[in-house]
Amino acid sequence: MIIFMKKFSKWIFDLDGTLTQNNIDFDRIRNELNIPKNILILDHLKQLPATVAHELQEKLAVLEHEMISETKIAPGAAELLSLLQSKNFLLAILTRNTKENAIRTLEQIALSAYFSWDTIIGRREATPKPSSDGINLILSKWRENKDDCVIVGDFYLDIESGQNAGINTIYVNETDNCSLANFSFKCLGDIIEQLS
């Protein structure tokens, strides 16, 4: 079946590395929290005893917060969101970061006006990606079904969450592509080209 991107009217974005240039130094975080390399940070925390996990969760949020001031907007992000908004499409954020950090990041890169706080979903509002929970929560807040809904992200967990929710997926990564996604692009500008 051919999927037409122009039909997508409900857009869910990953934040870090998708609308921002990759700012979060996950290896530094792993180092500071004593987490082995190549292990997903949230997965590692989940299997620790609750008190230890809680302490590390707090440290993690602080480290992520510290990195926000360095954050730069991804090329094409403002143009893409402005195009989608001009078409009256729905926009939301789904991040494995916290909602608070996501809001600050959006402010830092001057994109906060495109999103309603209600549909900025962090790891405490729903089970993190690859779970479909966050997508379902956003759809329920919109009071919409999943038709013509798409998630855009730079990491395989973004694509997996979209597949788990049964929505369309766009992978955006400069150095990599993802055969599991419906579309795989190098940059956000490539999406703008498909829509115009």
Residues in contact with 87: Cβ distance below 8 Å, sequence separation at least 6, in sequence order:
9
Strands of the sheet with 90-94, listed across from one edge: 120-121, 90-94, 10-13, 149-153, 168-172, 183-185
Q: Least distance in Å: CB of 75 to Mg ion?
A: 16
If one asks whether residue 16 binds Mg ion (CB under 5 A), the answer comes out as yes
**Contacting range for Mg ion; rule: CB under 5 A; set: 1-9, 60-68, 153-161, 163-171:** 153-161
Q: What letter represents residue 35's amino acid?
A: I
If one asks whether residue 13 binds Mg ion (CB under 5 A), the answer comes out as no
Site string for Mg ion, 113-152 (x = CB under 5 A): ----------------------------------------
If one asks whether residue 64 binds Mg ion (CB under 5 A), the answer comes out as no
Q: Least distance in Å: CB of 18 to Mg ion?
A: 5
Evaluated on CA atoms 20, 23, 24, 26, the torsion sign reads: positive
Q: In Å, how far are 2, 46, 161 from 41, measured between CA atoms?
A: 36, 9, 17
Among 10, 11, 13, 14, binds Mg ion (CB under 5 A): 14
Query: Residues interacting with Mg ion, by CB under 5 A?
Result: 14, 16-17, 154-155
